[in-house]
Homo-oligomer: A and B are copies of this chain.
């Protein structure tokens, strides 16, 4: 008897993928969700918000991937502390499972706002982000999981009903609008943050047609005017949170995906895919697989303000 044997008895597990449903009523249907977070920096506000999500914990798994290097070490140690606290606390507060992957490569660019948003750094950075997301996804998605919620480590405020709310639209891929809080003259205001959720434009498609085959189109850079209609611009202060809009590109700061979309093969292309990369490339891939992504222009989540 090998040690491996004595720890874990061999098993045969059978799954009927046709009984695995991702519906508009995920809680009453007991649908399992995995929340996936690529995490380069740990924010207390992220964790506090995560703990406020009121989807039944026994149906929620967490998966993290953390880059190598000094900053990653710090993030890992903070994450481990808070995870340990929850998973050894009250039974009813425990998540069904938590998996933490330590990446085998460091972030290719520094984590501060200015450096990581420089246009020149984007291709390498977003290719690395894609690989991190794929590694996490390919390693922790299991046959009984119905939904994947992608949630960045710097999303610090969402409605507690985020998962149910997004799922209630019954879309294969759905993304809320990601904004940021800031102060101006002592007044608290909000402004758009994530520009990766958009409707395609003729200009962007024309641009793609004349580009080198390994070039990528990026959103939110003056140097590269795409004239795409951004979901951030569709936000209406008094609009209904239920308003839906069809999207061509999606951001990944918060993003709910029916697991079957990933299982069919939709991942985050680390290489230019129709001149798109990472979450925007994912949206294109989902569309190639026959799934239409949607956005909720008036349903807001908030990004940390550095």
Contact = CB atoms under 8 A, between A and B. Distances in A.
A95 interface: yes
Contacts of A263: 131, 134-135, 138-139
A110 interface: no
A135 B17 CA distance: 9
Contact of A96 (B10, B83, B139, B289): B10
Contacts of A16: 102, 104
A288 interface: yes
Nearest to A59: B4
Given A13-B97, A265-B130, A138 B135 contact: no
A58 interface: yes
A15 B99 contact: yes
A188 to B, nearest CB: 37
Nearest to A145: B139
Contacts of A176: none
A13 B131 contact: no
A181 interface: no
A187 interface: no
Interface in A58-100: 58, 68, 80, 83-84, 87, 91, 94-100
B289 A87 contact: no
Contacts of A24: none
Contacts of A12: 80, 83-84, 87, 98-100
A2 interface: yes
Contacts of A101: 14-15, 17, 143
A299 interface: no
Nearest to A83: B12
A267 interface: yes
Contacts of A11: 87, 97-98
Contacts of A137: 138
Interface stretch (A154-162, A220-228, A268-276): A268-276
Given A17-B103, A18-B68, 7 more contacts: A14-B100, A16-B104, A18-B104, A134-B265, A139-B143, A265-B270, A271-B289
29 contacts: A1-B91, A5-B58, A10-B94, A10-B95, A11-B87, A11-B97, A12-B99, A12-B100, A13-B97, A13-B98, A14-B80, A14-B101, A15-B139, A16-B102, A16-B104, A17-B101, A101-B143, A130-B265, A131-B263, A134-B265, A135-B264, A137-B138, A138-B262, A139-B143, A265-B267, A265-B268, A265-B270, A270-B289, A271-B289
